[in-house]
Amino acid sequence: MTDRCPPSRVGVVGFGHLGQFLVDHIQKEGPGAGLSLAFVWNRSAEKLTDYVPEELILTNLAEFTDRKADVIVEVCHPCIVKDFGVQFLSHTNLMVGSPSALANPQLDQALRLAAKQHGNTLYIPSGALWGGQDIQRLNDSGSLRALSIRMSKHPSCFRLADGLLSDWSEEEGRRVLFHGSVAELCPIAPNNVNTMAAAAIAASTLGFHGVTGEIVSDTALADHHLVEVEVTGSGGFSVKTERRNPAKLGAVTGSATYRSFWSSLLVCKGHGGRVYLC
C-alpha cells in the first residue's frame, strides 16, 4: 500500500468457521495487505470476547453505519443477507458469503438495485467455483447456452434439509441425491450450494432456474470434494472442468475455499454499482 491509499476497513458479519478465519487473517496479515477491521458482529457477542478487541465488537448490527466500513463481509447465514443486504449496500460495498440468498428473485433484484443506486459493489466470492469470471464473460457476451455443476462429497460433508441423507452407510458408494435446477436445490442444501449459487449469479442470463445442479454422495471421497462444471456456449463451444478440493471428513467447506475467500476479500476495493464476481 502507498501513503495515498489508506487501509480498507472491513466489517465481518458472522464468526463461524469462515468468520474466524477471516478475522484472524485480517489481524495477522491485514496491515501488509491494506486491510484492517472496522467491526466484527456475531449473533452471540460473547463468542468474540477472547478473539476481538472490545472496541471492534459490534453488538447491534443495525448500528453498522457508525463503524464506517469500506466493505462488509457476510459469512453468517442467508437470512442476514435478506434482512440487512440492502441496508449494507446503501452505505458500503458488500461481499456476500452466502450467495444462495440470491435464489430469491425479489432479494436478488433489490440488492442489484441498491448497488446501482448507491454506487456500491455487490461482491460474490468464487468460493470453490473455478472459471466463474469466464462464465460471466460468456454470459455478458450473450453466448452462454447452458451451465451445469455437479458437487460430489463424502456423505458426512452434506447438511441437507428433511434428513435427506440420514440413512447412509460407509459401504454404499455413490448416490445421486438431487438433479435439477439450482433454484430448487438451494432450499434442500443451503450450506452446500454456494458454489452453484455463485455460478448462477455469473450466468445471469440463465439464472438460478436455468442452471442445472447435481449433488452426489460418494463414500470413496474421504479426503476431498469434487466440483465439476460444464459450460456450453454458442457455435459448438464447450468447457469442462473438474476441481479436487481437499477436505476433511465431515467438513462442509473444502480447505482451499478458505484461502479463496481471503483472495476474494483482497479484491473488494470498490468496483462501482454492480455485481462483481471475485
Ligand X SMILES: NC(=O)c1ccc[n+]([C@@H]2O[C@H](COP(=O)([O-])OP(=O)(O)OC[C@H]3O[C@@H](n4cnc5c(N)ncnc54)[C@H](O)[C@@H]3O)[C@@H](O)[C@H]2O)c1
E strand residue ranges, 112-206: 122-124, 144-153, 174-181
Under rule CB under 6 A, residue 139 binds ligand X: no
Under rule CB under 6 A, residue 185 binds ligand X: no
Of residues 143, 153, 140, 125, the one with CA closest to residue 231: 143
Under rule CB under 6 A, residue 125 binds ligand X: yes
Ramachandran sector of residue 112 (left: φ over 0; alpha: ψ -120 to 50; beta: rest): alpha
Under rule CB under 6 A, residue 76 binds ligand X: yes
Which amino acid, 76? C
CA angle 98, 99, 105 (to 5 degrees): 130
Which amino acid, 17? H
In this chain, which of 10, 12, 18, 58 binds ligand X, going by CB under 6 A? Answer: 18
Contact region for ligand X (CB under 6 A) — 25-33, 91-99, 108-116, 224-232?
91-99
* Helices (H) then strands (E): counts for the chain: 8, 11
Taking the complex as a whole, the smallest distance from the CB of residue 262 to ligand X amounts, in Å, to 12
Under rule CB under 6 A, residue 102 binds ligand X: no
Residues 72, 11 contacting (CB under 8 angstroms): yes
Contact region for ligand X (CB under 6 A) — 15-23, 115-123, 141-149, 224-232?
15-23
Instruction: Identify which of residues 69 and 277 has a Cβ nearer to ligand X in the complex.
Output: 277
Instruction: Identify which of residues 227 and 233 has a Cβ nearer to ligand X in the complex.
Output: 227
Contact region for ligand X (CB under 6 A) — 125-133, 224-232, 233-241, 268-276?
125-133
Under rule CB under 6 A, residue 75 binds ligand X: yes
Instruction: Identify which of residues 132 and 233 has a Cβ nearer to ligand X in the complex.
Output: 132
Q: Which residues pair with 62 in a beta bridge?
A: none
Cα–Cα distance between 85 and 91 in angstroms, integer? 10
Contact region for ligand X (CB under 6 A) — 14-22, 85-93, 136-144, 171-179?
14-22
Query: And the C-alpha cell for 65?
Result: 453505519
Total number of residues that touch ligand X (CB under 6 A): 24
**Helix (H) / strand (E) containing 88:** helix 78-91
Instruction: Identify which of residues 148 and 233 has a Cβ nearer to ligand X in the complex.
Output: 148
In this chain, which of 8, 11, 12, 14 binds ligand X, going by CB under 6 A? Answer: 14
- Contact positions with ligand X (CB under 6 A) in 233-262: 253, 257
Specify the length of the chain in residues.
Answer: 278
Of residues 158, 13, 123, the one with CA closest to residue 76: 13
Instruction: Identify which of residues 92 and 98 has a Cβ nearer to ligand X in the complex.
Output: 98
Under rule CB under 6 A, residue 264 binds ligand X: no
Under rule CB under 6 A, residue 176 binds ligand X: no
Residue in this structure with the C-alpha cell 463481509, named with its chain if needed: 73
Query: And the C-alpha cell for 175?
Result: 448416490
Q: Which residues pair with 73 in a beta bridge?
A: 12, 95
Note the residues at the interface with ligand X (CB under 6 A). Answer: 14-19, 42-43, 75-77, 79-80, 97-99, 125, 127-128, 191, 194-195, 253, 257
